[in-house]
Structure 1
Amino acid sequence: MISVRFSGLLREFRRNSGLTQQELADLSALSVRAVRDLESGRVQRPRRETVRLLVTTLRLEGARRAAFEGAAAAEQAEPPSPADPFTLLGRADEVRALLELLRSGGQRLISLTGLPGVGKTRLATEVADRLRADGWQVSWTPGGPGTGRDALLVLDGAAPPGPYLAALLRRHPGLRVLATGNGPLRLPGERVMPLAPLAAPRPAPGADPAELLRQDAVRLFLSHVRRIRPGYRLAAAEVATVAELCRRLDGLPAAIEHAADWCLIHPPRRLLAWAAEDPLAVACSPVADGTGPDLRTAVRAAVDELAPVPGQLLRLLAAEGRAGSFEEILARAGGPAAEVARSVHALLLRGLIRSTPGEAAECFTVPRLVRQALAGLPLPSVRLLAAV
């Protein structure tokens, strides 16, 4: 649903009062230009004092006043959308950390890991663009890295054989490598940075829409809706619905963007109801163009890359569908504690499980989209894990 625009209500109420723009400006102590800009939509997020003056001048009461002030509040609360719909949102800390590591030269091989659709390529592109702007030589193919003091090779999802990459780093002392993939390359000197989804906490009852609109996951959803529906605005009552939708999609950027594509057909409340039944259906693009795997297929492929023991552990945890401490996971899985710990670590690096602080210890859970992707697959025998 698109909220009733403040500009339209102002124009309607002014005309109903029999006032021209000049007369409204004179009576309210505003400039006629300010009135024109407000009615045309050039000025969004009107100031509270301006709204108060207009309410008094137009003698708005009851439902008319509530509608007018509600439309103004929705526009005041909503931050401007990024000028570029592909602007990187919510990754300032990750960008800063990567730039520090690459510029220092202390880490020459860095791997960005995580779930498909978490934004590894976009983050790598942002970092590469910033370094290029600083005069670095940047290449996206192994055959073309620079030989200067500051050169970056970006390996997006397809790394060359380990010996070739190791020789490349030896041959070019000024070269750094930034790789993206579901998991680490497992090469000497590699620094692994697992990329988490965007934060998408459960909205509290009665949460302030202005606070929810500042969440990066919600901003991402809105910026992508506006690509297909320019001028789209949320009613204040719908903001919590979008925040909850982002939570049910695990804060995964690709899932949020695909859900936004469905807004040509469905309002947010319907998408949320759909996500409750099948979150992966909402998280997959409505455009089936065959150019790449959908999210369900991509997640299953990431699971298939796992070694046997981490793969078995993931299926066990997904079947349970609840958070648990390491001790609880160990009791459920059986087997040596060291082997289970290595498996948990491997799953964390790939984003196939996530950790959250608990009351007494760290808790681990399988993201909703991963559980959905694994639904219906055979559950492994606990004895296989215990036998390792």
Structure 2
Amino acid sequence: MMPSGRPALPADPTAFVGRRRETADIRRTLERSRLVTLTGIAGVGKTRVALRAAESMRRAFADGVLFVELSSLSDPDRLAQVVARALEIPDQSVPDLDMLAEYLADKQLLLVLDTCEHLVESCSRLVGGLLTAARGLRVLATSRQPLGAPGEHCLVIRPMEVPAPETAGSVQDLARCESVALFLDRVGAVDPGFELTEQNAPVVGELCRRLDGIPLALELAAGRVRSMPVERILTLLDERFWAEEEDTCADDPRHRTMQAAIAWSHGLCTPAERLLWSGLSVFPARFDLAAAEAVCAQEGLPAHEVYPALDGLVAKSILVCAKGPDRTTYRMPDSLREYGAAQMPDHDRRRVLLARHRDHYAGLAEAASEVPPRDEQAEEWKRVREEWPNLRAALEFCATDPAETDDGVRLVITLTFLWIACGMGREGRHYMEWFVRVARLDEVTRVRLLLLLAYVMVAQGDLRTSRQTLDECADLVSRSDDPLSHIHLEKMRGTLAYAEGDLAAADAHLTEAIGRLRAGGSPDITVLAAMVELGITRLWLGRPDDAAEVLLECKRECEDSGQSWARSWADLGLSLVLRARGELPGALALAKEALRTQRRLHDASGASLCLELVAWLATGQEDPAWAARLLHASHGTWRQVRRPLYGSPHFLAEHARSEETLRRALAPAEYEEAAAEGGAMSMDEAIAHALGEPPGAPQAAPKERVTPLSPRELEVADLVADGLTNKEIAQRLVVGRRTIDTHVEHILAKLDFSSRSQIAAWAIGHREGG
């Protein structure tokens, strides 16, 4: 985990070879330019070099490094939303560029935007706006052409060094050449017994020269060594490669080399592998074997032959294989995906594959939307959330083809759990509003879509637009004889009244809706959510016993049906009830349990409310500095949500009371330091803090560390070891210079040291010793 708590950069599936000069150039250029774009031909390794440079600069950015892959994004208007989701910013109803600019305004962050060439104008506008608003932001982009943004500094990533003809007979000199080193490393993966000898050195050197040192071309050639000697590969290049190259049309001869290398590799594939290659081009991101079989099995490629063909494409470096603890996935590099798509000129054939792709991921969504046994719900929902690039491609296919809009609407409704419970309301609202405008829907389906849209708007705090949407929905329902439409409208009226603070109306609407919904059979997610809303409404109305009754009933039904998300909200409501009764230990246990589930699901509104609740419960019970950090961490997450679901003057008053109590318990400087530390926390860091977990390892229990230093002193010692001055450390940790001076004095005294160099040596040894 990076300091911000966000996931680490994508791991390299193979060893990183060479490129030291390019990595150093990027680091130096980013020191003086806030926007650096890496350009170069397809297959030259722009992404891998960018990731290597970003990883090496991680410590220079207090808020970490964020990688955003854009090759699967086709709609330029969604760019800001994709970046916002990568940052895991909770939903807001303000324009996305403004939202991003506000969020990043005080951050020190390196943003890596990968594969920008098809979104150049949008990337230029977005980056220009963000760099103007956020002085601590730097951007590293990869693109086949410059972005054209103000202040942009372009670095061309060129092919690897190729061996000079005079080194052909020297094994030692040849092995030091970058392109040869890469080729040998990739050959070693498919033929561990291969060695560079005086006999084959001239052939290897000539092969690397013929391929112009282009990494992807070298990897494609290396993949063939499993089935033929390197001499035969060079002979095939002589026979086929240059003829292919002459047929390609590109100004840069190295680009022609790359295209010819891909065509050559395609020609050496079996018919089944070529058919699968073109079929897999409909996947915008990673996929597994089940998805490949469901989408690509066809005439000439039955399902049982998909895996052998898939394995063959992996062996030939057409696909990158990533083995996880419980799942193996595959990914095709962009330039190879483009080539595969070009081999399928039949538009109808491609449309069939896109429909199969949509149907496969719709099936995964439908399975996850059904209530699974016990605690599997959160994991199933999380897995679907991780498939978002494929789901987005499926929705885009439906949105751009009038014949597919009905399926698109069904998929949007099926994914309700993503929009409501998994922090993806922004994406859901985009597609709901689109299909409301363009789809010709029957009245019942249109009502369902509008009600879902209104719910997401409430979650975003956009209450005015939500009311307008409900008014439109009410007009449709008044002409409908569908009883469920009437009941769900009643429920949403209760939800909106609750959010607006009209508690009496909320009580009436929710009570009516719950009664009618439960009369129709076993409770579904709509009933359970309504019960939570009703329970908290009754608590605010001063009826804690009535609140406890409905919330306990909701929890029992959640446990019986395996509804972990609704159960977490029931626990949150019950925690509020126990707090009102003065039963603080029980209240804290329930709040933390709810927070763990909200974290797994990425439910920003729920997690923010849980953080607030834990902070209130800790006030007066825990270390006041710890509680103050958490209170301001939770307040920071609320600022990102703006007006969260179930927001209330009651909550604001509780926050103010807790803050006043903590100010009295701490000295002014101590309180301000704790407040600054908490306000700088990410959502993940705040949750780890609330649960007593070490930052960056939210699922692990805290480890005992044998050291006389406090956690903050350890952090300061690490930064001293990194060569930062006290002033720079203060800026990094967002505290006063005097605070850092005091920490350093304490460290020297506790460790019986007399110099900063002794602190640095101790900190480095402490890291290595764990």
TM-score, reference length from structure 2: 0.26
Structure 1 residues 152, 236: CA separation in 2 closer, same or farther (over 3 Å shift)?
same
Q: 1:155 to 1:219 in 2, by over 3 A?
A: same
Whether the aligned pair in 2 keeps the contact of 1:113 and 1:194 (CA below 8 Å) is yes
Q: Secondary structure at the match of 2:199?
A: helix
Deviations 1:110-157 (A, max 9, x none): 110001000100001101111224554111233228555531111101
Q: How does 1:134-283 map to 2 (within 5 A)?
A: 134-136=60-62, 137-141=64-68, 142-143=83-84, 144=87, 150-158=108-116, 159=119, 160-204=122-166, 207-279=169-241, 280-281=260-261
Q: Hey, what's the Cα distance between the residues in 2 that align with 1:88 and 1:212?
A: 18
Report the CA distance between 1:161 and its aligned residue. 3.8
Partner of 2:33: 107
> What is the aligned-residue identity percentage?
35
Larger Rg: 2
Give 1:94's aligned residue. Answer: 22
* SS of 1:139 mapped into structure 2: strand
Aligned partner (choices 41, 52, 55) of residue 129 of structure 1? 55
Give the distance between the partners of 1:299 and 1:190, measured in 2 at CA. Answer: 33
1:298 Cα offset (Å): 5.8
> How many pairs does the alignment contain?
216
Residue by residue, what CA displacement relative to the aligned partner does 1:233-266 show, whole Å, maximum 9, x if unpaired?
A: 2332101111110110010000001100011112
Aligned-partner Cα distance in 1 for 2:337–2:210: 15
Match status 1:119 vs 2:81: no
Query: What are the superposed Cα offsets for residues 157-179 of structure 1, whole Å, 9 maximum, x if unpaired?
Result: 13544222211111111111111
Q: Is the 8 A contact 1:95 1:127 kept in 2?
A: yes
The structure richer in helix per residue is 2
Alpha carbon RMSD of aligned pairs, Å? 2.9
* Letter of the 1:155 counterpart: L
Distance of aligned partners of 1:215 and 1:167 in 2 relative to their CA distance in 1, 3 Å threshold: same
Distance change (3 Å), C-alpha of 1:284 and 1:273: same
Q: CA deviation at 1:223?
A: 0.6
Q: Which amino acid aligns with 2:114?
A: D
- Per-residue deviation, 1:215: 0.8
Q: Secondary structure at the match of 1:155?
A: strand
CA distance in 2, matches of 1:200, 1:300: 31
8 A Cα contact 2:217 2:261, kept in partner:
no
Q: Please state whether the residue corresponding to 1:152 is helix, strand or coil.
A: strand
- Secondary structure of 1:116 counterpart: coil
Shift of 1:205: 7.5
Shift of 1:89: 2.3
Q: Name the SS of the counterpart of 2:50 in structure 1.
A: helix
* Greater mean deviation of Cα atoms: 271-280 or 133-142: 133-142
**Structure 1 residue 281, shift from structure 2 partner:** 4.5
Asked if structure 2 preserves the Cα contact closer than 8 Å seen for 1:202 and 1:244, the reply is: no
Partners in 2 of 1:147 and 1:296 — Cα distance? 37
State the TM-score, normalizing by the size of structure 1. 0.50
The alpha-carbon distance between structure 1 residues 227 and 147, as it changes in their structure 2 partners (threshold 3 A), is farther
Aligned residue runs from structure 1 range 26-37, under 5 A: none
Structure showing the higher strand proportion among its residues = 1
Q: CA deviation at 1:299?
A: 12
Does the 8 Å CA contact 2:188/2:194 hold for their aligned counterparts?
Answer: yes
Q: In the aligned structure 2, how far is the partner of 1:205 from the partner of 1:164?
A: 48
Q: In structure 2, the residue corresponding to 1:278 is in which secondary structure?
A: helix
3-state SS in 2 of match to 1:200: coil
Task: Give 3-state SS (helix, strand or coil) of 1:250's partner.
Answer: coil
Please, which runs of 5 or more residues in structure 2 have no aligned partner? 1-11, 69-82, 88-99, 242-259, 282-331, 343-770
Distance across 2 between alignment mates of 1:206 and 1:93: 24
User: Which residues of structure 1 form unaligned runs of 5+?
Assistant: 1-83, 302-388
| Residue aligned with 2:33, SS | coil
Change (3 A) 1:134 1:110: closer
